[in-house]
Amino acid sequence: MYLELAPAITALRSRPEEFEFSNGTLHHLPSRHRFRFESDDDVRIEAMCDCALLRAKPEQAKVFSEAHREWQASYWRPFQINRDFASHFEAPPLWRRAAIWLLQWLIALPPARHEASKAALHPAGADD
């Protein structure tokens, strides 16, 4: 007896946003099922239910593997690129903004204050 993969294949093709890929595993977020592609005709199902007890038919595993590759190319990779691109334009964290502000403030100090600070550290007539 084999696990029928047709519902997973249909979901991957028609609702690609329900899946994500990490650590070499395809995750179906609503069901929490994970699929590990061992080869083109072997898919390991990881689930907290009895779905993981049955193996996939090699023929269906091959179709699912092909659907996964199509999903990677047409949905997941563009999604990652767009997410990474957007992250380049996010506001920096508060600590970094504070550090930038402090650095700009220090750079903007008038030269007289720099000389006064230097004089305070090395008074005139002090032995070097």
pLDDT, tens digit (0-9, with 9 covering 90-100), for 30-60: 999 999 999 888 999 999 999 999 999 999 9
Report d(CA 7, CA 12) in Å as an integer.
9
pTM above 0.95, yes or no: no
Residue 82: what pLDDT? 96
Report d(CA 5, CA 13) in Å as an integer.
12
Q: Which single residue is written with the structure tokens 């946003």? A: 17
Residue 41: what pLDDT? 82
Can you list the residues of the chain whose pLDDT is less than 70?
112-120, 123-128
